[in-house]
Amino acid sequence: MKRLLIVDDSKLMRDMVAACLRPLGEVAFEFAATGLEAIERLALAGFDLVILDINMPDVGGLEVIEFVRAQDRLRTLPIVVVTTRGDDASRARVIDAGASGFLAKPFAPAEILEAVRRFLPGKQPTA
Amino acid sequence: MSERVDLQEFVGAFVAEAEELAAAANLSLLEIEVANTEGTTRPRIVRDLFRALHTIKGLAGMMGVEPIVEIAHALETLIRSADRAGGLLSPKAVEIALQGIGEISERVQAVAERRQVAGIPVQLIATIASIDAEPAATRLIKKIPSGWEGRLTVGELQQLDHAHDTAIPVWAVTFMPSASNVTRGITIASVRRDLAAIGELVRVFPRALAGPGDATGVAFDMLLISKASRDVIAATAATELVDIVAVVAHSAAAVAEIAASGAPDAPGAPDRDDHVTAIGRAVVRVDLSRLDELQEQLSLLIVSRFRLEHEIAAIAKLGHDVRRLREIAQLQGRQLRDLRRAILRARMVRVADVLEPLNLLVRGLARSTRRPVQLVLEAGDTELDKAVADRLLPALIHLVRNAVDHAIEAPEERAAAGKPTTGTVRVSCVAVAANHIELVVRDDGQGIDRDAIARRAKRPIASDAELLEVLTRPGFSTREVATTTSGRGLGMDIVQRVAVAELGGELALQTTLGAGTAFTLRVPITIAVMDVFSFQCGAQCFVVPASLVEEIFEVSAETVSVGPSPPRPGAGASTNSAVSLFEHRGQAIPLLSLGALLEIDSGARARKALVIRRNGQPMAFSVDRMIGRQEVVVRSIDDPLVTVPGITGTTDLGDGRPTLMLDLNELASVYRDRVAS
């Protein structure tokens, strides 16, 4: 079963993201409330995809991406960034740092579903 | 599987979280305001505030509430620049931010009530955009721990600066996560939380570890400002990698000493209880409607228990031995009480939290009336049912608003009277016997001018109780009075209605001209289950809250003298007159016939009388027959379309038929109005 890590400091937002991804069917969701927790989880366990908020206390999403991309084991891990800052500069910064996908909040359930399908290994986006 | 996902299922959770975040934002702003008056900054608080706004914005966006997104975005921009300026936020910025949060809360409320959400407050957003957070403070950062240069924000540097000024040690702590730590529940989240409980955690940085084959590959470097000893910090962070990196002390020996044992006046390890609350608290947020559901199930259980008792009594009447059945029923009764208590505990909220909004209220009122007023809240650890709290708060808001608007004098006037120029409104809460709490709203203002009120009311007023009776009369004009010197009466009928009719509590008043006024509300901590007296009147059963009934008397012909017949519409030659006098302990008490009042007179001779105290005066109601005293679940009648004067709710005594709960105070008013008309 695919393992997805959803990182957001708002539990409600994590729940909403998981709800949006329900149509994926057989996947296991795990959650982290801060960038620090996310880094710890990623260092200790294997995941198939990360959905990452940018603005979080202490360690933000960008630092999580930097950490992930600096580790050999995690270099190809798909990271879909979900952020309230949807402007082009933010998008460029996030993609530069090494994110695989970028989605601005608010997003429609179908949008995040499609983004995750595109990057989840072994799954092809439905037409 | 359906591809359609509807986020509307999250509306309730959104409202709860947005309310919580808005309340937290308000608190942060108030704290920043205090810091402003002290000439200090609170970088941490500014960051919390930023996060709260950011989260509100993101969530509101997901729910499609555009006006909230816009307001939160404008505020977020303002606060971000404050954060960059090291946590400085000008008083004007605080003011406008509070206003913005207010606008957000209002719209969250609209979402909660499924009302139309007000649009984008364009003017406010323009104002927010037009103010600048203050320029950065130019303070000299005295010492940056080596290895951390260039990695800290202005706000964080100021935290270190402050530690330097107050001679609190700064520690570098490194935590290495591992699978074995995780199985013991030690994660970066737990370490972070525990360290924050024994000091001020300035910053955490992840560090990728080099070296092939290293499974963990990460270390967390943390900067902690703490007076705790090295050992305590090491144990808390589950690491040996703890070093003092900055401290102001007079000698190297002192540094060594502090490093070994903590600062001289260090609190050392937090005491056990603190620690347990800090790390052992597991909180689940539950939608109130789920607790209501639980309560509803419990009430059905209580009703079926009544039925069981009825049946046992019926079997006993047939001459069967029901001792074993009774024992089981009693055991079940105790278990039900325990269950009820457990559910009640889950519904309890801290009175201190309930009173919190009053801070903002008083602050705003002090500003608009230009009178310096301070609010003192003394709630301790008292708790009450959320449902009671929700009803009580509007009444308290009325009382506090009245106190500031009308009771507290202008500063010059206060100075002339030898009082401190700043007025004080004190709201205190204590638990009193039998599941009740007592809330007192006390001001040190001008007091209520009894004579002035008496002139308005065109009747003499001899006591505070009579004064309260006049003030709480629905017809008593508030407009006339509130603007004259006596200055009170605004919405007092509502306060009375909440405290007495809805909650089955008491309201009392104590005032001294020139010195101040105190309103005391004594209310039960829960209203879901009530202790009542049940009785029969005509062919019907009714209940009244037991807490309101002072005494129950036998009524005999000798003690009752028949009074004037009430003007009843459509009544022919009267059967029982509705009012008479009843002699008890040498005192003549008005005795109202409940049957006549409710126009369900059976013609039967009333045999019992319930005595209540109305505004300090005893008053009796005659009923045909007492049934008993029991705990019942009361459903209040909240629908404005079915409000009947004198009836506050319904209950089920176990016979499956709805039984009405009466408000005897209001029935007395109904009678008085009838006589008056």
Q: Does B44 touch chain A (CB under 8 A)?
A: no
* For B217, nearest residue in chain A (alpha carbons): A43
CATH assignment at residue A26: 3.40.50.2300
Residues in chain A within 8 Å Cβ distance of B205: 59
The pLDDT score that the predictor gives to residue B438 is 92
For residues B387 and B526, the answer to whether their CB atoms sit within 8 Å is yes
B335: which 2 tokens? 């278990």
Residue A120 C-alpha, separation from nearest chain B C-alpha, in angstroms: 17
Q: What is the mean pLDDT of chain B?
A: 78
Of chain B, the percentage scoring pLDDT greater than 70 comes to: 80
Each residue's pLDDT tens digit, B383-401 = 888 888 988 888 898 899 8
Q: Distance (Å, rounded) from C-alpha B246 to C-alpha B550? A: 69
Domain borders along chain B are 7-130, 154-270, 288-344, 356-524, 529-676
Contact, B674 vs B540, CB < 8 A?
A: no
Burial bucket for residue B105 (CB in 10 Å: 0-12, 13-18, 19+): buried
Nearest Cα residue to B645 out of B593, B598, B582: B598
User: Taking CB atoms and an 8 Å cut-off, how many pairs form between chains A and B?
Assistant: 106
Q: Is A23 within 8 Å of B2 when comparing Cβ atoms? A: yes
| Structural contact between residues B530 and B545, judged by C-beta atoms closer than 8 angstroms | yes
Closest CA–CA distance from residue A97 to any residue of chain B (Å): 16
Q: What is the mean pLDDT of residues B31-59?
A: 85
Q: What share of chain A is helix, strand, coil (3-state, %, to 5)?
A: 45, 20, 35
Give the A-side interface with B, CB within 8 Å.
9-13, 15-16, 19-20, 22-23, 25, 33-37, 39-40, 43-44, 55, 57-59, 63, 67, 70-73, 84, 105-107, 109-110, 113
B187 neighbourhood in chain A, CB within 8 Å: 37, 40
Top mean pLDDT of B15-29, B285-299, B547-561 is at: B15-29
The rounded percent of chain B whose pLDDT value lies above 90 is 12
CA atoms within 13 A on the CB side of A39: 34
Q: From CA B647, how far away is CA B626, in angstroms rounded?
A: 19
Please determine, looking at this structure, whether the domain spanning B356-524 carries the CATH number 3.30.565.10: yes
Tell me how far apart the alpha carbons of residues B362 and B508 are, in angstroms, rounded to a whole number.
Answer: 22
Q: What is the pLDDT of residues A43-69, one digit of tens each?
A: 888 899 999 998 887 788 888 998 888
For B208, which of A55, A59, A71 is closest by C-beta distance? A71
Reading across the β-sheet that carries B423-432, which strands appear in turn? B373-378, B423-432, B436-443, B516-524, B506-512
- Contact indicator for B655, B311 with CB cutoff of 8 Å: no
Inter-residue contact B418 to B332 (CB < 8 Å): no
Superfamily of domain B7-130: HPT domain (1.20.120.160)
Angle at A52 between CA A48 and CA A56, to 5 degrees: 145
Spatial contact of B389 and B427, defined as CB atoms under 8 Å apart? no
Lowest mean pLDDT among A7-16, B412-421, B563-572: B563-572
| CATH code at B529-676 | 2.40.50.180
Tell me the DSSP string of B515-542. TEEEEEEEEES--SEEEEEEEEETTEEE
Q: How far apart are CA B590 and CA B599, in angstroms?
A: 19
Among B656, B628, B660, which Cα is nearest to B644's?
B660
CA distance B56 to chain A (A): 9
CB-nearest partner of B177 from A11, A43, A58? A43
Interface probe for A, chosen from B28, B59, B62, B73 (most Cβ of A below 10 Å), is B62
Domain of residue A32, residue span = 1-50
When pLDDT is averaged across residues B240-248 and rounded to a whole number, the result is 64
Phi, psi angles (nearest 5°) of residue B239: -150, 155
Q: How many domains does chain A have?
A: 1
Question: What percent of chain A shows pLDDT beyond 90?
Answer: 39
Write the CA distances from A26 to A23, A42, A76, A123, B662, integer angstroms: 9, 21, 22, 12, 57
Chain B hits for A107, CB-CB cut-off 8 Å, are 62
What pLDDT score was predicted for residue B291? 80
pLDDT score, position B272: 34
Task: Give B357's pLDDT tier (boundaries 50, 70, 90).
Answer: confident
Please indicate, yes or no, if residue A112 is contained in any of the structural domains.
Answer: no
Write down the ipTM of this complex.
0.75
Question: Which chain B residues are closer than 8 Å to A84 by Cβ?
Answer: 54, 57-58, 61
Q: What is the pLDDT of residue B442?
A: 95
Identify whether the C-beta of residue B82 lies closer than 8 Å to the C-beta of residue B32: no
- In tens, the pLDDT along B411-435 reads 999 999 999 999 999 999 988 865 7
Which of B13, B54, B188 lies at the smallest CB-CB distance from A40? Answer: B188
pLDDT over threshold 90, residue B45: no
| pLDDT classification of B602: cutoffs 50, 70, 90 | low
Considering the domain boundaries, does residue A43 fall inside one? yes
Of B591 and B155, more confident: B591
User: Which residue from A64, A76, A6 is spatially nearest to A40, judged by alpha carbons?
Assistant: A64
The 3-state secondary structure of A83-95 reads ECCCCHHHHHHHH
